Structure 1
Amino acid sequence: MSFIGIDVSAKTLDVAVEGGATWQVTNDAAGLATLLAQLGPLAPDLIVVEPTGRYHQLLATTCIQAGLPVAVVNPRQVRDFARSMGQLAKTDRLDAALLARYAARVQPVPRALPDEATRELAALVDRRRQLVDMLKAERQRLEHARASVRGSLTQHIRFLEQALADANTDLDQWIEQSPVWQAQDALLQSVPGVGAQTAHLLLAHLPELGTLSRRAIAKLVGIAPLANDSGRFRGQRSCWGGRAEVRHMLYMAALTGARHNPVLRDCYQRLLAAGKPPKLALMACMRRLLVILNTMMKTGRHWTVPTLSTP
């Protein structure tokens, strides 16, 4: 079996075959064409790369389109693997060899990358979030600004407000271009507590919604309680890892749902009555909401208020 590790940087790609040769190509169209020609005779069973912002995306997309199995893995897991192997040194060539060894030992499952339309949607969602953050920062500065800079801040705030309105329009238009997204957007927003921005972010950054089990989707997002036990010791369960941007948005949705969604409100109040801390109760509501959304996307059924059966 043949396992390949590729360390990605802005300008170059360092390639290593597990137990074999290493080489370098440029990280551009010409370099990728050369790489595909070099990988062809090797018939790799798995190629492993780490995410590096936008720099790994062209590589992963090109390899997948060529029919090569690619796994984009968590850098923290690879670094932990390196420490377990006693490898502390770090260079691009060593990292490529480490990724090849990680591919052979761990054999992570390749996952399909989001299609081009989903990546464009994610870019629009991310840009909107950036504009919201900038607008919030400028408004906070304006509260305590001196007269000499208030005009500049006010002008910039007006610009950002218009840019945010344009971003909202672009998002709505992008969703309207796809009948599938339109249906999914309407389905998600039928749940009390889930608004347009939450629905858009879930469509862009959680395309697995509706395709995984309730445990798998909760672990993917990072809201599954993880055990911390050893011998007689029973540690406190905690949630960590996962997709931070999805988790943050679910927190706000659960916060609203705990007041206005009858299912989440009952869940929240029941846990508080049992003596659970408010934050723990809210985390439980986040997971409950995610499981509900996952089931709705899987079945295609809109939200309906549960009714209690009477004898």
Structure 2
Amino acid sequence: MSASCVVVGIDVAKAHVDVCVLGAQFKAQRFDNQAEGHSALTAALQPLGVALVVMEATGGYETELACALQAAGLPVAVVNPRQARDFAKSMGRLAKTDAIDARVLAEYAAVLLRRDDLARLLRPLPDAQQQWLAALVTRRRQLLAMLLAERQRLQITPRGLHPSIEAVIAVIKAQLDEIDGQMVGHVREHFGELDALLQSARGIGPVA
């Protein structure tokens, strides 16, 4: 398979994703399904010249990763799980593990590449304003993960080291406030009408 036909299958779970790449030297791997894991996976895939990434719709667990890969310029198709299951059955793949599912999705990606209507299956690439918002959201999640880690350290660290941890927590909180301010301003400037419409629904606030 040539470099232009490198395909990727990603099996998505709540806590992790399993990745299989066909057409390039890439050992099947598992990544955390959170911002740091998404960044690591994106960095690993970008040099490979990926022609298509396929993952299943999994109730929203795939959304953040799909957006991160798209923002990096990778073509992503999110397919109906039933389609993937039917394809697996047609290939005689009856065993089911995360790694096998990722392999099947990569094989399915290779088949989809030959379809004339492939463009219809691809998620539309985000524009510059959406990409910047996605970057802000990713950074916010990274900061929240750092804040949680420092708070957990505070509980198990000798009291004499608490001032050091508390200083780091204060810096992270300040950065969170800065990111939140940028996000609010960006949404108001570029997505004001949509923001107002969404927040008119009960339970939807600025962060959502």
Q: Which of 165, 178, 193 is 1:178 aligned to?
A: 193
* Alignment partner, residue 123 of structure 2: 111
Deviation at 1:112, TM superposition (A): 1.4
Which one-letter code corresponds to 1:16 in the other structure? C
Deviation at 1:37, TM superposition (A): 1.2
Quote the Cα distance in structure 2 between the aligned partners of 1:96 and 1:177: 39
Note the 1:34-53 alignment, pairs <5 A: 34-53=40-59
Deviation at 1:113, TM superposition (A): 6.8
Q: Which of 66, 76, 79 is 2:85 aligned to?
A: 79
Deviation at 1:106, TM superposition (A): 2.3
Quote the Cα distance in structure 2 between the aligned partners of 1:96 and 1:16: 5
Deviation at 1:26, TM superposition (A): 0.5
Aligned length: 123
RMSD (Å) for aligned C-alpha atoms: 2.6
Deviation at 1:111, TM superposition (A): 2.3
* Alignment partner, residue 65 of structure 1: 71
* Alignment partner, residue 108 of structure 2: 102
* Alignment partner, residue 33 of structure 2: 27
Note the 1:195-206 alignment, pairs <5 A: none
SS at match of 1:45: strand
**Structure 1 length-normalised TM:** 0.36
Quote the Cα distance in structure 2 between the aligned partners of 1:46 and 1:19: 11
2:13 paired with 1:9 = yes
What fraction of aligned residue pairs are identical, expressed as a percent? Answer: 48
* Cα distance change of structure 1 residues 19 and 65 upon mapping to structure 2, 3 Å threshold: closer
Please tell me whether the aligned partners of residues 84 and 108 of structure 2 are also in contact (alpha carbons under 8 angstroms). yes
SS at match of 2:108: helix
Deviation at 1:178, TM superposition (A): 2.4
- 5+ residue gaps in structure 2? 131-190, 202-208
* Cα distance change of structure 1 residues 177 and 33 upon mapping to structure 2, 3 Å threshold: closer
User: In the TM superposition, what whole-angstrom CA distance separates every residue of 1:86-136 from its partner, at most 9, and x where no partner exists?
Assistant: 1111110000000000000123431217897xxxxxxxxxxxxxxxxxxxx
2:60 paired with 1:54 = yes
Note the 1:1-311 alignment, pairs <5 A: 1-18=5-22, 21-107=27-113, 108-109=118-119, 110-112=122-124, 177-178=192-193
Which one-letter code corresponds to 1:5 in the other structure? G
Deviation at 1:52, TM superposition (A): 0.8
Q: Which runs of 4+ in 1 moved over 3 A?
A: 113-116
* Alignment partner, residue 260 of structure 1: none
- 5+ residue gaps in structure 1? 117-175, 183-199, 201-311
* Cα distance change of structure 1 residues 67 and 114 upon mapping to structure 2, 3 Å threshold: closer
Task: Compare relative contact order (CA 8 Å, sep 6+) and give the higher one, 1 or 2.
Answer: 2
User: In the TM superposition, what whole-angstrom CA distance separates every residue of 1:125-167 from its partner, at most 9, and x where no partner exists?
Assistant: xxxxxxxxxxxxxxxxxxxxxxxxxxxxxxxxxxxxxxxxxxx
Deviation at 1:177, TM superposition (A): 4.4
Deviation at 1:49, TM superposition (A): 0.6
